[in-house]
């Protein structure tokens, strides 16, 4: 299998982020946010986006002094070999856990909502086999497919949102602050890690054509996914009211089963294939990131050979929960809780060490010369 070794342009980079983080609106992320923020979940999402700006900007600043290094190489450079590898291993374990739980959630969605008679093991196997193939083809191809499919995926989502808003009740979003401003802040701080993928995106930083594109792409995509998830959350509340939306494990899928476009019923058959393609791209990208990080820690240059092994381990662990809907939901909450401090504190710590080491001075000298 030929793996492309090209670089990512800004549009492919934004598409990858828009599809990997944007699809979070279709899993149990909205339910987790509604649990604390109630009907103000959409405000909590905007607040999460605003709060995420700080670590993301700091991370970009750190990368500005290490343009040819990825996240793992920067960590090793800043923290030293032993501590750096330890931090990378912790990030890998957290990232792999998130991948296992997320893939389990998606298998549960497909199994409970669409293919109810197919065994979860078969769904898991097919889903991850396609994703492993995608990951093995390399980041350039993942980016190209993302860019190619982004308009179709987002247009279908927009259609679903518009139809839902038409069928919804505006009054359900009031009281606008839900249970109070403090609850919104608490919910945002607790679930900040829904955007922790931006930390992992540092692993492909040197694969973006230029640092300027990386910087611009990251900021644009952060704004885009924040607004997208927030809009979807308003829609779910308008359609179901927060008490129901909070109880639904997968509000997006309930929405596309509930809505009707004119005389057309069962419109989920229109949305499901697009969502499935977005899922393939999402997990292909996650598998690629896991392999790149594991390869970095073990100093393996041909890290793509690790993808089948990583995929097999993900499937075998992901198949273990007996009642996935409940177990994975609880586990996902714990992982979000664990990832939040890592996402908030690691970038500032990296920036502080880089500042002490004088990396930014070197960058200024390089730019002026």
Partner 1 sequence: MVYLIWGIVMVVCFYSLAFGVTLWKQKNKPGSIVVILLSITSIILPYFTYVK
The site for partner 1 (CB under 8 A) is made up of 119, 121-122, 125, 298-300, 305-306, 308-309, 311-313, 316-317, 319-320
Nearest distance, CB of residue 322 and partner 1, angstroms: 9
Per-residue DSSP letter, 301: S
- When the beta carbons of 316 and 365 are compared against partner 1, the nearer one is 316
Q: Cα angle vertex 52, ends 246, 310, to 5°?
A: 80
- When the beta carbons of 2 and 176 are compared against partner 1, the nearer one is 2
Cβ contact 17:217 at 8 Å: yes
Residue 57 CB-density burial (10 A; 0-12 exposed, 13-18 middle, 19+ buried): middle
- When the beta carbons of 5 and 299 are compared against partner 1, the nearer one is 299
Nearest distance, CB of residue 344 and partner 1, angstroms: 30
Whether the CA torsion 325, 327, 328, 329 is positive or negative: it is positive
Nearest distance, CB of residue 96 and partner 1, angstroms: 11
Nearest distance, CB of residue 333 and partner 1, angstroms: 22
Q: What Å distances lie between residue 88 and 57, 73, 91, 273, 297, CA to CA?
A: 20, 9, 5, 35, 7
Nearest distance, CB of residue 192 and partner 1, angstroms: 31
CA-based nearest residue to 92, from 344, 347, 339: 339
Encoded tokens for 177: 């602050």
Nearest distance, CB of residue 118 and partner 1, angstroms: 11
Q: What Å distances lie between residue 151 and 15, 42, 148, 278, CA to CA?
A: 9, 23, 7, 11
Nearest distance, CB of residue 309 and partner 1, angstroms: 4
Nearest distance, CB of residue 303 and partner 1, angstroms: 10
DSSP assignment of 41-88 equals: HHHHHHHHHHHHHHHHHHHHHHHHH-TT--HHHHHHHHH-HHHHHHHH
- When the beta carbons of 164 and 311 are compared against partner 1, the nearer one is 311
- When the beta carbons of 300 and 353 are compared against partner 1, the nearer one is 300
Separation CA 315–CA 283 (nearest Å): 12
- When the beta carbons of 158 and 309 are compared against partner 1, the nearer one is 309
Name the 3-class secondary structure at 162: helix
Encoded tokens for 354: 């880089």
- When the beta carbons of 218 and 284 are compared against partner 1, the nearer one is 284
- When the beta carbons of 43 and 105 are compared against partner 1, the nearer one is 105
């Amino acid at each position: 299998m030929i793996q492309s070794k090209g670089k990512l342009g800004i549009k492919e980079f934004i598409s990858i982020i828009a599809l990997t983080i944007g699809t979070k609106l279709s899993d149990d992320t909205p339910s987790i946010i509604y649990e604390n923020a109630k009907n103000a979940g959409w405000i909590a999402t905007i607040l999460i986006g605003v709060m995420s700006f700080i670590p993301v900007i700091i991370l970009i600043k750190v990368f500005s002094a290490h343009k040819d290094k990825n996240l793992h190489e920067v960590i090793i450079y800043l923290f030293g070999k032993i501590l750096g590898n330890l931090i990378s291993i912790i990030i890998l374990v957290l990232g792999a856990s998130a991948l296992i739980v997320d893939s389990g959630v998606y298998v549960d969605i497909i199994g409970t909502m669409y293919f109810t008679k197919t065994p979860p093991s078969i769904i898991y196997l097919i889903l991850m086999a396609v994703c492993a193939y995608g990951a093995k083809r390399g980041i350039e191809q993942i980016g190209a497919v993302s860019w190619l499919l982004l308009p179709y995926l987002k247009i279908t989502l927009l259609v679903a949102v518009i139809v839902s808003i038409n069928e919804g009740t505006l009054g359900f979003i009031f009281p606008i602050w839900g249970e109070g401003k403090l609850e919104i802040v608490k919910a945002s701080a607790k679930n900040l890690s829904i955007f922790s993928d931006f930390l992992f995106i540092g692993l492909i930083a040197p694969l973006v054509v230029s640092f300027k594109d990386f910087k611009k792409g990251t900021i644009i995509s952060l704004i885009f996914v924040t607004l997208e998830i927030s809009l979807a959350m308003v829609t779910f509340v308008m359609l179901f009211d927060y008490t129901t939306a909070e109880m639904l494990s997968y509000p997006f899928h309930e929405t596309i089963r509930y809505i009707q476009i004119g005389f057309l019923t069962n419109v989920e058959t229109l949305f499901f294939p697009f969502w499935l393609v977005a899922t393939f791209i999402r997990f292909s990208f996650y598998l690629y990131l896991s392999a790149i990080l594991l390869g970095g820690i073990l100093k393996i240059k041909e890290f793509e050979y690790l993808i089948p092994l990583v995929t097999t381990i993900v499937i075998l662990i992901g198949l273990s929960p007996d009642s996935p809907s409940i177990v994975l939901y609880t586990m996902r909450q714990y992982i979000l809780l664990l990832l939040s401090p890592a996402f908030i504190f690691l970038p500032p710590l990296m920036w502080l060490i880089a500042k002490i080491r004088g990396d930014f001075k070197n960058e200024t000298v390089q730019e002026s010369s």
